[in-house]
Amino acid sequence: MSASISSAGPITVGPPERKRSGRGRNYARRYWVFALPAAIVVAIVIVFPWIFTLYMSVHDWKVSGATPFVGMANYAKMLVDDRFQWAIVRTLVFTAASVVAPVILGVWAAVCFAANFRLRGVARTIFVLPMMATPVAVALVWTMMFHPQLGVLNYLLSLMGLPPSAWVYSSTTVIPTLVMVETWQWTPLVMLIVLGGIASLPRDPYEAAVLDGANPWQMFRHITLPLAWPFIIVAGVIRMIDALKAFDTIYVITLGGPGTSSETLNILLYQTAFAYYDLGYGSAMVVVFFVLILLISMLLLHVRQKQAWQ
């Protein structure tokens, strides 16, 4: 009996190999049928508009008349267009300020709301209310508050003995004022993301820090901030993409003014395409804007991937 076992070769232990039935192979071949409707919708809603935008960007596309092929002329025009270049600068400045301020305030608010105190739920609900309002409604309310004579903000400044401000009616204060509106509305979003991350952190490091006599600032600096950093990066990426696309708030409050002082790239390409009816040049701006968003997003996502989850 032992000879017969040894001659049979090595014995392998494990589950028997399952052969795929013909019915299973037929099901596998039919999977594409279920994915086809979604692929068609993506092609119609996303792929075709982008291809058509690229097509328009290399043509002198007007609302009426011929659309001759101009190649890269629309893109070359941007290199000598001061209005476009200043719009890029304003967009980057507005985006940077609209990311840094909400992230700093949002992290601070998340740390505050992570502590146990009376009526914490009510305070957190009130804090997130600005995020629930539509941007157009927010813009209309702030526009009334910014009025030089009738606005409540200048009235509050007068109560404190401060001179009135021109707010969005001055080229020197319009961008900081718009950043203030963005910060007021979207700091709650950063707070919610970071607060969720803080709530998931382990409690052992904090207990050890208390035993070692660490104060709240030391615990935040050496425990909370490093552990919650991946969540902060995620909040920063979301806020950056949203700030780059900001249009409705700026358009409703200032229309890009005074003059062109608040004319970001979104406002400029809208004016170019739908006010001046230069769809070819406007499409070229859209392509450049898409590349800009893609590069900045890839940079921030690279930074995010470099952070190890603790």
Candidates 292, 248, 279, 296; CA nearest to 88 is 292
* Contact status, residue 283 vs residue 56, Cβ threshold 8 Å: yes
Give the pLDDT confidence score for residue 66 in this predicted structure. 72
pLDDT by 10s per residue, the chain, length 310: 444 444 444 554 445 555 555 555 565 567 777 778 888 888 888 888 889 999 999 999 887 777 889 999 999 999 999 999 999 999 999 999 999 999 999 999 999 999 888 888 899 999 999 999 899 999 999 999 999 888 999 999 999 999 999 999 999 999 999 999 999 999 999 999 999 999 999 989 888 998 988 898 999 999 999 999 889 988 998 999 899 889 999 999 999 989 999 999 999 999 998 888 899 999 999 999 989 888 887 887 777 777 654 4
- What does pTM read for this prediction? 0.83
Residue type, 34: F
Give the pLDDT confidence score for residue 35 in this predicted structure. 79
Which residues, 6 or more positions from 217, have their beta carbon under 8 angstroms from its beta carbon?
none
Task: Tell me the domains of the chain and their CATH numbers.
Answer: 81-306 (1.10.3720.10)
Going by the DSSP 8-state scheme, the letter that residue 98 receives in this structure is H
- Rounded-to-integer distance, Cα 69 and Cα 293, Å: 27
Give the pLDDT confidence score for residue 262 in this predicted structure. 94
Give the pLDDT confidence score for residue 5 in this predicted structure. 43
* Contact status, residue 194 vs residue 235, Cβ threshold 8 Å: yes
Cβ neighbours, 10 Å, residue 186: 26
pLDDT in tens, 26-76: 655 677 777 788 888 888 888 888 899 999 999 998 877 778 899 999 999
Give the pLDDT confidence score for residue 239 in this predicted structure. 92
pLDDT in tens, 254-276: 999 899 999 999 999 999 988 88
